[in-house]
Amino acid sequence: MAPRTRTRPSRLHQEPEAVTWARQKAGLTKRALADQVGISEQLMGEIESGWRSATPANLIKIAAALNCPIVVLERKRPTAAAPAATSTD
């Protein structure tokens, strides 16, 4: 039997480092936050490490438990480059 390989999700809903930072700032352990959100400690760890993407519903619960705006935890989407300003002298 061939060994299974894990791949990271191609698109995350959350910024893993932001979730970890906000959790630590709130003084919570992964287990305490997971209990408040209603998920396993293992899933919480995978969300923080970027191995799993938080569902939008869980991301809302995480933000509420950490008392922070959801926008702080959301993955930043790349924006289209603004057109360069042209000078007409």
Q: DSSP of 38-61, one letter per residue? A: TS-HHHHHHHHHTSSPPPHHHHHH
**Residue 89 clears pLDDT 90, i.e. is over it:** no
Find the CATH number of the domain harbouring 32.
1.10.260.40
pTM of the model: 0.76
53-83, pLDDT tens digit by residue?
A: 999 999 999 999 999 999 999 987 666 655 5
For the chain, how many structural domains are there in total?
A: 1
Whether 77 is in a domain gets the answer: no
Dist CA 86 CA 13 (whole Å): 36
Dist CA 13 CA 27 (whole Å): 23
**Residue 50 clears pLDDT 70, i.e. is over it:** yes
Whether 80 is in a domain gets the answer: no
17-45, pLDDT tens digit by residue?
A: 999 999 999 999 999 999 999 999 999 99
- Within a 13 Å sphere around the CA of 60, how many CA atoms are in the beta-carbon half? 3
Domain that holds residue 62: 16-72
DSSP 68: S
DSSP 7: -
pLDDT of res. 7: 73
Whether 21 is in a domain gets the answer: yes
